[in-house]
Amino acid sequence: MHFIPEELDNYVVAHSEDEPELLQELTRETFQKILQPRMLSGHYQGRVLSMISKLVHPKNILEIGTYTGYSALCLAEGMQKDGELHTIDINEELEDFQRKYFDKSLFGKQIIQHLGNALEIIPKLDKTFDLIFIDADKDNYPAYFKIIIDKLNTGGIILSDNVLWSGKVIEPLNPDDTSTKALLEYNILLKEDKRVETVVLPIRDGLTISRKK
């Protein structure tokens, strides 16, 4: 979604930080070989994720939804030198693709892949996190929040992608649309939960920043 005219959006991108060459390469190969390439965070949102990570300077990062690894590499740019990024995805067919690009980066040894159901994996992670990025199946967003909030350090940040869902959050709800229903519940949850303070940014498909008090 574009919330400003395309010409102005193009200006914003052109005057933001350039996309690193490795991520340009990852984008090209994703569009050539992988289904649903629009799931990539992409140049502009990737630079937003990178900037937020650099401001937070997290030791440990958790990502729910790896896809081809673009957002993980953006988030890793702000990670501390002795930190770790744990990324979870359920699609085993993408595991080798992700690892190839992780190992091409400066952060390969710090990025740990987990394959399977995030709701089962997260409770087994014996770590707390300074930055968590949620960009997986929308139906489980409320469940993800409930399972990660106690693993987020005080002052830590949750980034949630696709919270505007192509504008469906303000349209009449189709009873069969479970994803939109879950996102509506999730957005209310973030607004009302007293443990976090939340701002919704109208960036691309909607990006929420929530800070744990």
Task: Find out whether 69 and 63 touch, Cβ atoms under 8 Å.
Answer: no
How far is 160 from 135, CA to CA, in rounded Å? 6
* pLDDT tens string 44-103: 999 999 999 999 999 999 999 999 999 999 999 999 999 999 999 999 999 999 999 999
Our separate counts of H helices and E strands in the chain read 8, 7
* pLDDT tens string 159-181: 999 999 999 999 999 999 999 99
How far is 198 from 158, CA to CA, in rounded Å? 9
How sure is the predictor about 204, in pLDDT bands with cuts at 50, 70 and 90? confident
How sure is the predictor about 209, in pLDDT bands with cuts at 50, 70 and 90? very high
How far is 107 from 177, CA to CA, in rounded Å? 38
Predicted pLDDT of residue 1: 60
CA 66 to chain centre: 8
Task: Find out whether 196 and 210 touch, Cβ atoms under 8 Å.
Answer: yes
Token pair 């957005």 is found at 187
What is residue 63's DSSP assignment? E
Side-chain half-sphere exposure of 212, counting CA atoms within 13 A = 20
Residues composing the chain: 213
Instruction: Say which residues have a Cβ less than 8 Å from residue 197's Cβ, sequence separation at least 6.
Output: 210, 211, 213
Question: CB atoms < 10 A from the CB of 6, how many?
Answer: 8
**Strands of 110-151, DSSP E:** 111-115, 129-134
CA 171 to chain centre: 24
What is residue 198's DSSP assignment? E
Where helices occur in 91-207 by DSSP H, the ranges are 95-104, 118-121, 141-148, 178-192
Q: In whole numbers, what is the pLDDT of the chain averaged over residues?
A: 96
